[in-house]
């Protein structure tokens, strides 16, 4: 699997300070699946923000997952939204260490989206006090897994502000993103019948074999890149190597560009 790990650097302003802040955030690894690491990274972010903005953030935890926010008073105007969790597992720094090479910062989470967090903090810090009135900066820690603990907060804050800017990396060529695909997560489970694979395999019903057929059927629902993408991801099944599997399951990631495509995929999954 190849994922982007770099972000182009500017050459003016506070580049050295931004680089140091980015280094600190990247070195605070923060996979979505590790609450302890997420809290540690949130503390690093809070320290950087307090230094730049002159005020400590509010940090709340929902089911152990942190949310970091700054609000500057006045009538709500702009919500700056970001996330500190990454798709990279703990220990990725050993293989992909932080470095700056050929004008690019490299490391897990640089592109998505710790560079954006640094930009947001430095941008707000550059404003005159009156210019920051009405701004809220909210950083969540479960975006990569569809925001189960922060979705309610995001919807509430976005509804209270006339404008919302997400400071994640741009599309190819620097194009501005004005919309994102909808996300759906599904699980398909198959139940069979266990049997000893050496003594009586024919008396079993192999759940893994049926799951393989179902995964092939799922792939036919994929209409990407213009339509919905349907991606089987995590697969589990079986108990021991000498037992016909009585259970197998696959997690399914669905990304849809429209309600019609979402309904088409949901109907296909139901069938």
CATH 3.40.50.20 at 6-174, yes or no:
no
Q: What pLDDT score does 25 carry?
A: 98
Alpha-carbon distance 163 to 178, whole Å? Answer: 12
pTM above 0.85, yes or no: no
Q: What pLDDT score does 169 carry?
A: 84
Sheet holding 78-83, edge to edge: 58-62, 65-71, 135-140, 78-83, 163-166
Query: Per-residue pLDDT tens for 210-269?
Result: 999 999 999 999 998 899 999 999 999 999 999 999 999 999 999 999 999 999 999 999
Torsion, Cα of 33, 92, 256, 247 (10° steps): -60
- Per the CB < 8 A criterion, the answer to whether 209 and 190 are in contact is no
- Eight-class DSSP state of 126: T
CATH classification code of 182-270: 3.30.70.360
Other beta carbons within 10 Å of 204: 17
Q: What pLDDT score does 41 carry?
A: 98
Query: Per-residue pLDDT tens for 105-129?
Result: 999 999 999 999 999 999 999 999 8
Query: Per-residue pLDDT tens for 32-51?
Result: 999 999 999 999 999 999 99
* pLDDT of 146 strictly over 90: no
- Eight-class DSSP state of 168: P
The residue extents of the domains of the chain are 6-174, 182-270
């Amino acid at each position: 699997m190849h994922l982007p790990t770099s972000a182009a650097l500017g050459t003016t302003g506070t580049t050295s300070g931004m680089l140091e802040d980015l280094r600190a955030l990247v070195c605070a690894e923060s996979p979505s699946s590790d609450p302890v690491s997420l809290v540690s990274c949130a503390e690093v972010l809070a320290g950087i923000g307090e230094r730049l903005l002159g005020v400590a953030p509010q940090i709340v935890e929902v089911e152990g997952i942190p949310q970091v926010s700054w609000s500057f008073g006045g009538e709500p105007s702009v919500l700056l939204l970001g996330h500190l969790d990454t798709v990279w597992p703990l220990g990725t720094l050993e293989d992909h260490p932080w470095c700056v090479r050929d004008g690019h910062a490299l490391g897990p989470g640089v592109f998505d989206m710790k560079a954006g967090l640094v930009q947001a903090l430095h941008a707000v810090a550059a404003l005159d006090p009156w210019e920051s009135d009405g701004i809220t900066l909210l950083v969540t820690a479960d975006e990569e897994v569809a925001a189960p603990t922060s979705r309610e907060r995001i919807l509430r804050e976005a509804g209270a502000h006339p404008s919302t800017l997400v400071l994640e990396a741009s599309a190819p060529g620097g194009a501005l993103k004005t919309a994102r695909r909808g996300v759906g997560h599904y699980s398909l489970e198959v139940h069979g019948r266990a049997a000893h694979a050496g003594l009586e395999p024919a008396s079993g019903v192999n759940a893994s074999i049926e799951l393989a057929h179902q995964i092939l059927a799922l792939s036919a629902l994929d209409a990407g890149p213009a339509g919905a993408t349907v991606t089987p991801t995590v697969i589990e099944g079986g108990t021991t190597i000498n037992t016909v599997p009585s259970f197998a399951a696959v997690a399914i990631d669905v990304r849809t560009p429209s309600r019609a495509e979402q309904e088409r995929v949901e109907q296909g999954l139901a069938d």
